[in-house]
Amino acid sequence: MNDTISSDMISNDLAEGLANCAREPVHIPGAIQPAGCLVCVDNALQQVLSVSANIAEILGVTPTEAFGQSPSQLLGPDLLEQLASRLELDDSLPLTLECQYQTDTFEGGLQATVYQSDTRWVFEFEPIVSVPEQHSLALLNRWIKVLGRTQSVERLLFRLIEAVESLTGYGRIMVYQFDEEWHGTVISEKRHDALESFLGHRFPAKDIPPQVRALYSVNPVRSIPDAGAPAVSLLSRAGSRDAPIDMGPGYLRASSPVHLRYLANMGVGASLSVAIFSEDNLWGLLACHHGTPKALSPQIRDTLLALVQMASQRLFLLESRGQMRYLKRVMDSRELVSYSRGHLIRPDELIREHGKSWLALFDACGLALMSRFGVSRLGITPDDAVLKRIASGLTAGNRHNGPWFTDQLTDHMSVTTLVQGDDIVGCYGLLALPMNVESPPGWFLLFRQEQPRTHRWAGKPEDVVVEEEGRKVLNPRHSFATWVEEVRGRSRPWLPIEVRAALDLAEDLAIAVSVNHIAHLNSELQSVNKRLESLAHTDSLTGVWNRYHLELSIDAEIKVAHRYQRHCCVLLFDIDHFKQFNDQHGHEAGDRVLKTLATTVESCLRAGDRFGRWGGEEFLILTGIDPKGAELLAERLRRKVEEIDLGDLGQVTISIGVASYHPGDNRKQLVARADQAMYQAKSEGRNRVVSSL
């Protein structure tokens, strides 16, 4: 009994410590780092409300004297005029201003970072270390050229680290990538011999808790030039009852005591981190450490941010190219399925002819196609009876008619009707894709074998709870020595690009199965045949033509264009940032966007234009107008979609690629040019039209 009580107490303490860590208000510490000073004034710029206790060291006035002056007297009219002028041009905050100060304790340039907390203006002043502007610009331009020539992600990240070292002189520089559970792994590193290597090591998610990660969206740079320096408190005007100052947008906010102990345990005297964003998601960090305190000029810090942003664009361009090559391989496989549909090949024949290539494409050990024709499988899979129980459980639990996947199938037996572990020996990952043309839906299942993994942690990721000021908090680990964890019972995770590609393939298979079924029922059930034929030619969600019907129409239109020298143009478009609708609002919201867009586009087309869903969030329009008219049509559609009112879902935009028929073109070539133009439109900023005429 005592052991049970002790265990419960530890569990409760840990839960309380984790909760307190997640609630720590790191954005309002009530103090700053001594690398500069802070002044907070009212919204009307009439009264000084708060100052940092070290204001005399920078601005040459005591806190008492500061409270006795107006903001204009304390900050100088030139600085406030700069602020007013900048706000007329651009009201986005924070702003960076430069000014000159001469006091008994300081003489030189200051950089002022200006932002708002509630309705108050906050000014953070940092001394400008003399760095020739042309020097930093020359370094930035040189490294941008170097990064622009790299052709691999690994080389790009190492070049970025070399550039950061040349700009900052930090002793250890790392690129740190987050996984789906927010654990981070060091995937690139450069260091001095005096500092320990963390290359290939993992850091637990609690090292950078959610509220700290969220601050990177407010300010992507976090600088701690002296981790051992005491924080400088903020002083408020007598009688003031203002809320704590939110210092998230600035650079000087004091660090959490827990984080400072963490850095001390790691032997770090100064740190700098810059967020790396993939679209709107935090992908990772550039993390810099130095064994001793190290001041960094604000200009160099700004140059470093620009360099990381440039490198990020190149990083995701390289990743996008790799994804496009992968999608091209999947597209070629889909073309084979499309060709097979004309020959009424049964599902088992499709699996026999193309199954091995699908196993290779999706790094799967086995697959199963479950349709009205029964179960067809290849490779390592559960037996037919188990597959049917899995499909039954998936159908009952799949509320949004979307894909379902896991890399640890044994932990998700509730979704698969409590199948026993012995029933799925050898299968640890599952990607299940519904084929909604059928009712009840069929399933295309891909299985993966176990992939044992070795995680090298930077210190054992254990949680130690201590009590501070009556609160239980997590105590940072003291050792960062390598701790090895062997992970079993999981497959390789399913990547988003793999899920997307497999979903498109499953739609093609669903149509192929449906067409086959139509052929078998045609002579017996005319009414059922008409319904299924409609399903085979229209998209079940949006009601517009599906890919199969579009492909037939493109082939026919190309023949007419060739024989009679008529115009034939294709408009291929993709919904920008569509994944955000599903991630932020759910799949039902994503379906609503697709249906609303399809209805809007249909209303803008001529009677002779053909329109359908090409796959996922991609749509295609086939028109017989001339190339110039096709461009005008595309632009009109882009503007019309931009005007769609989705209420709480926000705005939807599309990127359109336009291509016209050239003598000798086949369907694949014509659509490929439109696809290339569409990807160019996306890479150039989205919500635009690009032609390849």
Name the active-site residue from 124, 498, 551, 617: 617
Rounded CA-CA distance 309/258 in Å is 29
Cis ω on the peptide bond leading into residue 63 (within 30° of 0)?
no
Give buried/exposed letters for 33-69 (b at 16+ CB in 10 A, else e). Answer: bbbbbbbbbeeeeeebbbbbbbbbbbbebebebbbee
Which pair of tokens denotes residue 548? 């199969």
505: Cα separation from own chain's centroid: 24
Rounded CA-CA distance 593/590 in Å is 5
Listed in sequence order, the residues at least 6 apart from 627 whose beta carbon sits closer than 8 Å to its beta carbon are 567, 569, 658, 660, 691, 693
- For the four alpha carbons of 396, 397, 398 and 400, in that order, the dihedral sign comes to positive
Residue for token digits 């510490």? 29
Q: What is the DSSP letter of 363?
A: T
Rounded CA-CA distance 164/233 in Å is 32
Measuring CA to CA, which residue among 380, 398, 434, 354 is closest to residue 588? 398
Secondary structure E strands in 208-352: 221-224, 232-236, 270-278, 281-290
Write the CA distances from 305 to 97, 174, 272, integer angstroms.
17, 15, 11
Half-sphere exposure of 396 (CA within 13 A, CB side): 11
Rounded CA-CA distance 238/232 in Å is 18
Rounded CA-CA distance 362/28 in Å is 47
Rounded CA-CA distance 273/275 in Å is 7
Write the CA distances from 353 to 328, 350, 420, 495, 506, integer angstroms.
19, 5, 32, 25, 16
Listed in sequence order, the residues at least 6 apart from 239 whose beta carbon sits closer than 8 Å to its beta carbon are none
- Other beta carbons less than 10 A from residue 297's beta carbon: 18
Which pair of tokens denotes residue 34? 């001594």
30: Cα separation from own chain's centroid: 32
Q: Coil, strand, or helix at residue 358? A: helix
Residue for token digits 């408009």? 571
Q: At 385, which helix (H) or strand (E)?
A: helix 384-397
Rounded CA-CA distance 32/28 in Å is 10
| Helix segments in 407-542, DSSP class H | 496-521, 526-537
617 carries an active-site annotation: yes
- For the four alpha carbons of 644, 649, 655 and 660, in that order, the dihedral sign comes to negative
Packing angle between helix 547-564 and helix 667-683, nearest 10 degrees? Answer: 110
Q: Give the catalytic positions in this structure.
A: 617
